[in-house]
Structure 1
Amino acid sequence: MGTAELPRRRRFSLTRRQWMIATMLAAWGPGLIVMLADTDAGCIITAAQSGDQFGYAMVLPQLLLMPVLFAVQEITVRLGIVTGKGHGTLIREQFGKWWGLLSAGTLLLSAIGALLTEFAGVAGVGELFGISKWVTVPTTTAFLVGLAFTGSYRRSERIGIAIGLAELAFVPAMLLAHPKVHDLLHGMGTFPVGNTQYVYLLAANIGAVIMPWMIFYQQSAVVQRKLSISALRQARWDTAVGTVLTQGIMIVVVIALAASVGRKDTNAALNDVGQIAGALTPYLGSGNAKWLVGASILGGALVAALVVSLAGSWGIAEVLGWKHSLDERISRRNAKFYVTYALSHIIGAVLVLASFNLVSLAVDCEVMNALLLPVVLGFLLALEAKALPTEHRMRGAYRVIITALCVIVMGFGLYMVPNTLGF
């Protein structure tokens, strides 16, 4: 009898394992793609500057930012899964249409500004290999617009994650730079807070960790996935793994530059793709520097462009009550959403191709994001306390700690404003 029951037990075990895998795959995705988008072209450049100027002293701050990033994005997961509504929709319902329009309008402007950075990154990678921006930028625009028009959110998400994983190309770059463990441990215990440039770069790294569009995107994405409360645990794991992945990439970039360019104390200019590849060439070789830096920044720029434009389009559609499902092909019912998505890419591409003053635009974008962050995090905490049932809200010491961390992040964001403007 025991022998006869064994196959049935095995079948049950296998079925249960398959069920667990299916549950994981159903919930995983939004956290991974939004975190990969968080390590975009601008963030990689910021991490490169940090490693060049202050070496391993910028590694520990990246580790300390992990729980902050996870906590903020985990709130968006709970809001999306428990309420079944996007961030813009909740703001409109809880605080009124005008507050919703304010948050969505500034989000859209921020998204277009972020797209400029991503398209500039794509153009820089192309120029690294002798390809004109008149080829790379229109091609990228057509690809990203076409991707959303396929009628499948999951297809777009999977392709975005696959592209974003190219950021891991910086791992072999770090290994080729031959970092020394002793120097790494020593640098992690160094905090030159008396140096204004260090504090400014620290603020830039903190500001780069939580982008306003990340909150809108992940909440809308879990709603798009139609995840139930039973999937909340897996969605949290998705967010946790994504958090470790994105901050891990930032740490890898910091270490790669600290172990190479940073050792010479040159404070090299690292403001674009070509300068980063050029600075690493003596340590990695010309071919390795081009391909590894190019792949990493291109992957980050493409996945960020996809996520940013969707976040802005979703936010506008939710506030205005438009149909906005990527699982439906374009029709009269959802045309406004798709047009908004396409226009965000087209406007960003045109501005880059028209050779506007991109430095000035980037500065304006950074200031706008810094100013927007307190508004977005303020709304996030208010919605968590107001829109969720009691059993799904933060309580006690955890609420106090997370609120305090959000206030610190908002403070660093605002700190960047006068410095960015040169005051």
Structure 2
Amino acid sequence: MMADTEAGSVITAAQSGAQWGYRLLLLQFLLVPLMFMAQELTVRLGLCTGKGYVELIRQRFGRVMAAITATVLLISCFGALLTQMSGLVGAGSLFAIPGWVILLMLVVFILGMVLTGSYRSVERVTLALGLFGLAFVAMAIKSRPDMSRLLHDIARMPLDNPDYLYLMAANLGTSVMPWTVFYQQSALIDKGLDATHLPIARADTLMGAVFCQVLTAAIVIAAAATLGGHPAGLDSIAQIGEAFGALIGPAWGKLVFAIGLAGGALVATIVVCLSAVWAVGEALGVRHSLEQHPLDAPWFYGPFALLLIGGAVLVGSGVNLIRLSIAVGVLNALLIPLILLFLFWLAYRALPTEHRLRGRYAQVVAVIFTLTSALGLYAGLGGALGW
């Protein structure tokens, strides 16, 4: 859940505040129940079946559908990986650090951590890095938002405006991302947990969802207060860094912003790489675990390294960071219906009877998932095509 506040989320939230003031703020809190519902089902599936998302699809629907699902996840993961790396390069640019230096350090750091440590050691490092996102809360407080304007904007949602819809889809796609749904299920299995851990895992997920959206809302508030009035949007991460940096001070401000952005991006980089290779392993039915030695699980560590290095090479070629990040979010929003459909079906049919999704709660989840899927398609297609 902390990986949800990644570089793409930060950039999308900042663009939302700069372009639309506080008009996308309410959406951040409306997404909390949806995020919890989706991730809680992955918790149930992981702890109560001991199998990953793609593995369950392979067993229930066959290898072809598992391959299709894994491909969707890989597309989402690779897009997210490019976003994280671009965000880190952008953060480094605030201090005139060459992009290739950032990318080389990133590849060496992550490969070294993954190849030499177990899942628990990787998790501890990523959790520590993710806590730097609290810097955005401090920035929101320092921005001293105009409460009358905030209350005026928060209830105004111009759903007939294509630009607004496009950013709404991006916000949705950077909150409920296919790779986060997949990652949590596989990560719980890799930890060796079971159904006895279900209550604490649910509480952990709820806290994560709230924590994530508080940080995202803080970014929207800070951006609206400092960058509001940019109808054309932002052009670079440097714009965000300089504006946010001014809230704390010219020297420390940029550093705090860069640390907050880099913390989430590093967490997400590790998560998306693991999600991608776990998806490949589950689709192929081969060994895949951080607890295994690299020589014992070449199909796990090999694709992990190739994905990381390939992403670094592509980002090093030069891309528009802002447009890329928002486009990846919109892509995720368009993929949401497929991911939520399978998630609901597996929770309804694949779980043991005592943990199966059923009753009124199943009906509520079905309605929320349907409305979310419809909104993702409407906002994504409407915004992209200018409806």
- TM-score, length of structure 1 as denominator length: 0.86
Match of 1:91 among 35, 57, 60: 57
386-395 vs 280-289, greater mean Cα deviation: 280-289
Q: What is residue 106 of structure 1 aligned with on the other side?
A: 72
> Is the contact made by 2:173 and 2:333 (CA closer than 8 Å) also made in structure 1?
yes
Are residues 95 and 160 of structure 1, via their aligned partners in 2, closer, same or farther at CA, if it must alter by over 3 Å?
same
In 2, distance between residues paired with 1:288 and 1:267?
Answer: 28
Q: What is residue 345 of structure 1 aligned with on the other side?
A: 308
Are residues 241 and 364 of structure 1, via their aligned partners in 2, closer, same or farther at CA, if it must alter by over 3 Å?
closer
Q: What is residue 276 of structure 1 aligned with on the other side?
A: 240
| Pairing of 1:396-407 with structure 2 (within 5 A) | 396-407=359-370
Counterpart amino acid of residue 323 in structure 1: R
Q: What is residue 286 of structure 2 aligned with on the other side?
A: 322
Q: What is residue 72 of structure 1 aligned with on the other side?
A: 38
In 1, distance between residues paired with 2:232 and 2:297?
Answer: 48
Structure 1 residues not aligned, in runs of 5+: 1-34
In 2, distance between residues paired with 1:57 and 1:358?
Answer: 23
Offset at 1:203? 2.3
**Deviations 1:50-74 (CA, angstroms, capped at 9, x unpaired):** 1122222322211111000000000
> Is the contact made by 1:384 and 1:393 (CA closer than 8 Å) also made in structure 2?
yes
> Is the contact made by 1:137 and 1:349 (CA closer than 8 Å) also made in structure 2?
yes
Counterpart amino acid of residue 29 in structure 2: L
Structure 2 residues not aligned, in runs of 5+: none
Are residues 361 and 47 of structure 1, via their aligned partners in 2, closer, same or farther at CA, if it must alter by over 3 Å?
closer
Offset at 1:367? 5.6
Larger radius of gyration: 1
Q: What is residue 7 of structure 1 aligned with on the other side?
A: none
Classify the secondary structure of the residue corresponding to 2:373: helix
Offset at 1:169? 1.0
Are residues 342 and 36 of structure 1, via their aligned partners in 2, closer, same or farther at CA, if it must alter by over 3 Å?
same
Are residues 52 and 214 of structure 1, via their aligned partners in 2, closer, same or farther at CA, if it must alter by over 3 Å?
same
| Pairing of 1:281-320 with structure 2 (within 5 A) | 281=245, 283-320=247-284
The answer to whether structure 1 residue 256 and structure 2 residue 219 are counterparts is no
Classify the secondary structure of the residue corresponding to 1:210: coil
Q: What is residue 409 of structure 1 aligned with on the other side?
A: 372
| Pairing of 1:12-411 with structure 2 (within 5 A) | 35-262=1-228, 265-267=229-231, 269-281=233-245, 283-331=247-295, 333-355=296-318, 365-366=328-329, 368-411=331-374
Structural RMSD (CA)? 2.1
Offset at 1:419? 2.9
Give % identity.
44
Are residues 421 and 294 of structure 1, via their aligned partners in 2, closer, same or farther at CA, if it must alter by over 3 Å?
farther
Are residues 183 and 364 of structure 1, via their aligned partners in 2, closer, same or farther at CA, if it must alter by over 3 Å?
closer
In 2, distance between residues paired with 1:141 and 1:280?
Answer: 28
> Is the contact made by 2:22 and 2:221 (CA closer than 8 Å) also made in structure 1?
yes
- TM-score, length of structure 2 as denominator length: 0.93
Offset at 1:281? 4.9
